[in-house]
Amino acid sequence: MSYRNLAVTELVERARTGDNRAVGRLLTLVERGGPVADQIAELTHPLRGNAHVVGVTGSPGAGKSTLVGRLLAEWVAQGFRPAVLAIDPSSPLSGGAILGDRIRMDDVVPEGTFVRSMATRGHQGGLALAVPGAVRVLDAAGFSPVVVETVGVGQVEVDVVAAADTAVVVATPGMGDAVQANKAGLLEVADVFVVNKADRPGASDTRRDLQLMLDLAHVTGQDVDEHGTYFRPEIVMCTATSGDGAAATIDEIHKHMAHLKASDGLSRRRALRVRAEVRSRAERILMDHLDRAISESDLLTDADPNPVSTAESIVSRITGND
């Protein structure tokens, strides 16, 4: 039977009863966007079961996927049912992509876990809609934790991780990763630091660099949020290839969740997440209006339109402040 002809309602029902093919199909439809994706969002929204969303980021090749594979195996051993969304960049030239995260998890990932590779597909705004939609499908299908792996280079990727319940930043020895993480704004979003490739020389230096930067952030008050909540991220030494440090990483992820629950942090983070998604959706709707208004505008048929006043007039028409 082909799942391509199943109605969305049927797919959602199947996804709820452990049918991974239905989950896979729903994720494709969410990624594609449009009215079908909206319908899936409406259907899965009330079905969420409070999945713990864990963002994992760090520079290319830091060992994120290898680590995530270890985390999945450990979570399964502890009785959880985890899933991962592994995001890789699309080629700007062809729009295609080689999605190579899964191969890194393959050796250790046990049955019962769900791994989905996702390409950024050029338009960054698309990711901002597709990721929350995909996380919601996995949540509705009963997976938790739901891990989102992204490469920590672009702002959108950082935002994706920042919108998780718990953000894990992976650094490695000898690449100035600690400094890079600081520059990329990852230091502020990190809830857990992992120094991966601890089997390599320089790992303790990386740890010390991170510690210094966290100390500095503490002195300047950067690590206290607007509600005065202070959480100092732990630094875990890890060798993902052997699995050393995976259990300790999970302990820290769970401790962070406990901290969120003990304060009002969890509800505040989730409120932020909803806000970000609503904003992305609203932005898309506005952009559609804008594109239409511009293509239909008689103002632009002028030989020499004034850019300032023309832009203002077009926006006024959309917002009805004519």
Partner 1 sequence: MSETTTTDDAETDRLRIVLAKLGLDGHDRGLKVVARILRDAGMEVIYLGLRQTTSSIITAVEQEDADAIGLSMHNAGHLTLGPKMVKALEADGIDVPVIIGGIIPPDDEQVLLDSGIAAVLGPGAPAEEVARAVREAVAQRR
Ligand X SMILES: Nc1nc2c(ncn2[C@@H]2O[C@H](COP(=O)(O)OP(=O)(O)OP(=O)(O)O)[C@@H](O)[C@H]2O)c(=O)[nH]1
Residue numbers at the binding site for ligand X (CB under 6 A): 58, 60-66, 101, 104, 151, 196-197, 199-200, 239-241
Q: Which of 2, 17, 295, 301 binds partner 1 (CB under 8 A)?
A: 2
Length of the chain: 322
Q: Which does 93 bind (CB under 5 to 8 A by kind): partner 1, Mg ion, ligand X, none?
A: partner 1
- CB neighbour list of residue 1: distance below 8 Å, 6 or more residues apart: none
Task: With contacts defined by CB under 8 A, name the span among 36-44, 66-74, 231-239, 253-261 that binds partner 1.
Answer: 36-44
* Residue 209 sits in the site that holds Mg ion (CB under 5 A): no
Shortest Cβ 104–ligand X spacing (Å) = 4
Q: Segment contacting partner 1 (CB under 8 A): 20-28, 53-61, 152-160, 162-170? A: 20-28
CA distances from 8 to 26, 58, 73 (A): 8, 35, 31
Residue 121: partners with Cβ closer than 8 Å, 6 or more residues away: 31, 90, 95, 127
Cβ atoms of 88 and 101 closer than 8 Å: yes
Q: List binders of partner 1 among 68-97 (CB under 8 A).
A: 90-91, 93-97
Distance CA 112, CA 219 (A): 45
Token readout for 77 is 């051993």
CA dihedral 217, 218, 220, 225 (to 10 degrees): 90
- Which range, of 117-125, 195-203, 271-279, 298-306, touches partner 1 by CB under 8 A? 117-125
List Cβ<8 Å contacts ≥24 apart for 260-264. 260/165, 260/166, 263/227, 263/229, 264/227
Residue nearest to ligand X (CB): 63
Q: What torsion do the CA atoms of 15, 162, 278, 83 make, to the nearest 10 degrees?
A: 0
192 binds, among ligand X, Mg ion, partner 1, none (CB under 5 to 8 A by kind): none
Q: Does 139 bind Mg ion (CB under 5 A)?
A: no
Sheet with 146-149, side-by-side order of all strands: 114-119, 83-88, 146-149, 53-58, 166-171, 192-195, 234-237
Q: Give the three-class secondary structure for 107.
A: coil
Q: What is the separation of C-alpha 307 from the centre of its chain, rounded to a whole number of angstroms?
A: 37
CB closer to ligand X, 86 vs 162: 86
Kindly tell me which of 116 and 256 has the beta carbon lying closer to partner 1.
Answer: 116
- The residue count for binding partner 1 (CB under 8 A) is 42
Q: Note whether 204 and 228 are within 8 A (CB).
A: no
> Can residue 143 be called a binding residue for partner 1 (CB under 8 A)?
no
Which residue lies nearer to Mg ion by CB, 39 or 241? Answer: 241
Q: Which of 74, 101, 139, 252: binder of Mg ion (CB under 5 A)?
A: 101
Of residues 102 and 254, the one with the C-beta less far from partner 1 = 102
Q: Which is nearer to partner 1, 33 or 185 (CB)?
A: 33
Q: Which residues bind Mg ion (CB under 5 A)?
A: 64-65, 101
Contact residues toward partner 1 (CB under 8 A) are 1-2, 4-9, 11, 20-21, 23-25, 27-29, 32, 34-36, 39, 42, 90-91, 93-100, 102-103, 106, 114-117, 119, 121
